[in-house]
Structure 1
Amino acid sequence: MAPGSPAASAPASPRFPASSRGAGPAAHRRVAMPRLEVDRAFPRSPRGALKIARTLVALAALVCFVVAGSHQAYTALASMETAITVLFLLLYLLRLDERMRCLFWPLADIFNSMIAALFLLVVSLFAIIIKTNKGTLAGGVLGLILLVLCLADAILLFKKISHDKSRGRSAPAK
């Protein structure tokens, strides 16, 4: 079409946008989005099983605190721990840590585990010492179990990081 022809200067109709007119079959192709692949071996690994156990125990502690009507600090810590652990679980399960290289995710996970362990120690001990009701006591006990799981997770991640670093150093130079 010539630049001065009425068809070239006509506005795009609502049914057919201007970008699709005359573009041919290539305009109707969809852009292929990269697919997320699921790491099926991660849930069966020790780290994956530990993450799943952390998630379930944090969820159980959250349910105990909510049902018992405990102080909001207990509920907030348990819900925050549940959410963050689920996000790290999804990060490793969907292999997003390999795609998002802006952060060294195992180290961030270690920091998360250590800070969570510190908060869980304080809050769980308060929940057990005060023991306003049985639900708060059960949530405090589950919080202490979660504390142990957080420390075990941090230790496993630290061993993974140090093992990977040592393998990188011992590789022969070419």
Structure 2
Amino acid sequence: MASGSPVGSAPASSRGPGPAAHRPGRSAAMALLEVDRAFPRSARGVLKIARTVVALTVLICFVASGAHEACTALAGMETVITVLFLLLYLLKLDVRMRCLFWPLADIFNSVIAALFLLVVGLFAIIVKTNKGTLAGGVLGLILLVLCIANVVLLWKKISLDKARGRSAPANKNYMSVEE
């Protein structure tokens, strides 16, 4: 007890760091996975969630009906990519990873997905091997409409952000041509 530690407790070095030492590391990890609670309630969030649900339903229809492997692969790929973009925006990783302009990448993904979904959806409707393939084709065309709506919404967001950022010079020391 002559070591100066409180009665009945072991020295701090034998117990390891206390709970206060873990808080900075834990808060840094939690800050990395900060959830954007407003995104699911926004128009982009609702559209992304709807796209995920419809893509998963198309995948289930194609798998259950035993549709062609290309149809199933496209539906599975669209489901996975849409879930990844949903997580990217939901966890605010697009703000942290600045190596790519994510809304533009999402636009490219949506345009390419819409083209593939048009082909696969029409193929599944024309072939009509069974009702599951037909349902998957119809839902695939609905997913195509959601992809186009996503492109329009993201294009408006990009256009508005660009206009806001370049409307007037923020620096008062800015020299105009007239001077």
Identity %: 76
In the alignment, which residue of structure 2 is the partner of 1:9? none
Whether 1:156 aligns to 2:156 is no
Name structure 1 gaps, 5 residues minimum. Answer: 1-20
In the alignment, which residue of structure 2 is the partner of 1:76? 73
Q: CA deviation at 1:173?
A: 3.0
Q: CA deviation at 1:67?
A: 0.6
In the alignment, which residue of structure 1 is the partner of 2:34? 37
In the alignment, which residue of structure 1 is the partner of 2:4? none
AA partner of residue 129 (structure 2):
T
Q: CA deviation at 1:29?
A: 4.1
Name structure 2 gaps, 5 residues minimum. Answer: 1-12, 172-179
AA partner of residue 70 (structure 1):
A
Runs of 4+ in 1 over 2 A off after TM superposition: 28-31
Over 3 Å counting, the alpha-carbon distance change for 1:66 and 1:169 in structure 2 is: same
In the alignment, which residue of structure 1 is the partner of 2:64? 67
Give distance in 2, aligned partners of 1:34 and 1:124. 42
Q: CA deviation at 1:171?
A: 3.2
Aligned residues: 152
C-alpha deviations, 1:23-51, integer Å up to 9, x for none?
Answer: x859x944613321111110010000000
C-alpha deviations, 1:100-143, integer Å up to 9, x for none?
Answer: 01100000000000000000000110000011000000000000
- State the TM-score, normalized to the length of structure 1: 0.82
